[in-house]
């Protein structure tokens, strides 16, 4: 399966995120070597981040300065994205933050509930259905309460860190709340991300094919592909499998963003 040159990985973290060591320059050079016309970084914004035990933000002064320098040196477009870790109690703070800055694309995620990060062992010691329903409740809040975003990232993120295998019947038991989430995504004209990191964790692309089938059955067609790369060598990892999966669902276009304006790329 060929990855189109104009297809851009829309979920990439650089060293402006605390969990990545790959520099913006390395990401630019990686893209140029593969003939890409543009890159986008989607570094973390998360107030009261439970994983890092602090607010996580981007050093915009350094980032913008480096973008200007790299743009002078290389013939590649550098798009500015962000991954927002949503919490209902920080909704107004998040919206104020986003309103003060210009982005090409905004990803929406749910990473913690105000007490635990959804990756922490203490959370995964809970029964599987309790974990899934609790997590999806927070995703529904994020999708519903936020308006200023473009893409819903790794919708079933929680299963990435589960201490026990998650089966289709576990996902299917959450059908009512998943229905609500997917209907909201469609009604609000947002985009569902296929996040390929799941292939190297639990063996499937986020979201699980059960959820993707629900989305398609409900009329959802707007999808994006992102690797969630935290090091340059993982950019576009699993994209061939993602394209093959989309073809199997009858989807042959993905949505990309520039200046928050969507456009389609054929697969």
Q: How many helices (H) and strands (E) does the chain have?
A: 9, 9
Tell me which residues of the chain have a pLDDT lower than 70.
none
A 10 A CB-CB count for 45 gives 24
According to the model, what pLDDT value does residue 61 have?
97
**DSSP H helical segments within the chain, as ranges?**
24-33, 60-73, 91-99, 121-124, 128-145, 168-172, 175-187, 209-217, 239-248
According to the model, what pLDDT value does residue 174 have?
96
d(Cα 168, Cα 28) in Å, to the nearest integer?
Answer: 38
Determine the Cα angle at 159 with ends 186 and 249, to 5°. 45
pLDDT single digits (tens) 104-117: 999 999 999 999 88
According to the model, what pLDDT value does residue 13 have?
98
According to the model, what pLDDT value does residue 123 have?
82
Assessment of whether the complete model's pTM goes beyond 0.95: yes
């Amino acid at each position: 399966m060929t990855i189109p040159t104009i297809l851009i990985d829309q979920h990439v973290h650089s060293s402006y995120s605390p969990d990545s060591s790959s520099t913006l320059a390395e990401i630019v050079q990686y893209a140029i070597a593969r003939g890409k016309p543009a890159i986008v970084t989607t570094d973390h914004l998360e107030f009261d981040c439970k994983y890092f035990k602090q607010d996580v933000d981007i050093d915009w002064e350094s980032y913008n300065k480096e973008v200007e320098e790299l743009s002078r040196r290389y013939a590649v477009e550098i798009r500015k994205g962000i991954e927002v870790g949503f919490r209902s109690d920080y909704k107004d703070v998040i919206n104020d933050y986003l309103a003060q800055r210009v982005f090409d694309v905004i990803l929406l995620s749910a990473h913690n509930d105000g007490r635990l990060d959804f990756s922490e062992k203490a959370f995964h010691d809970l029964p599987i259905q309790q974990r899934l329903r609790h997590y999806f409740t927070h995703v529904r809040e994020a999708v519903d309460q936020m308006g200023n975003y473009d893409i819903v990232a790794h919708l079933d993120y929680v299963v990435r860190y589960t201490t026990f295998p998650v089966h289709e019947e576990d996902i299917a038991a959450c059908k009512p709340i998943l229905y609500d989430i997917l209907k909201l995504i469609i009604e609000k004209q947002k985009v569902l991300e296929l996040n390929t990191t799941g292939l190297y964790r639990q063996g499937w692309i986020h979201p699980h094919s059960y959820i993707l089938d629900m989305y398609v059955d409900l009329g959802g067609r707007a999808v994006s592909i992102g690797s969630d790369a935290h090091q340059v060598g993982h950019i576009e990892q699993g994209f061939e499998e993602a394209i093959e999966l989309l073809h199997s669902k009858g989807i042959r276009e993905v949505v990309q963003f520039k200046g928050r304006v969507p456009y389609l790329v054929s697969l």
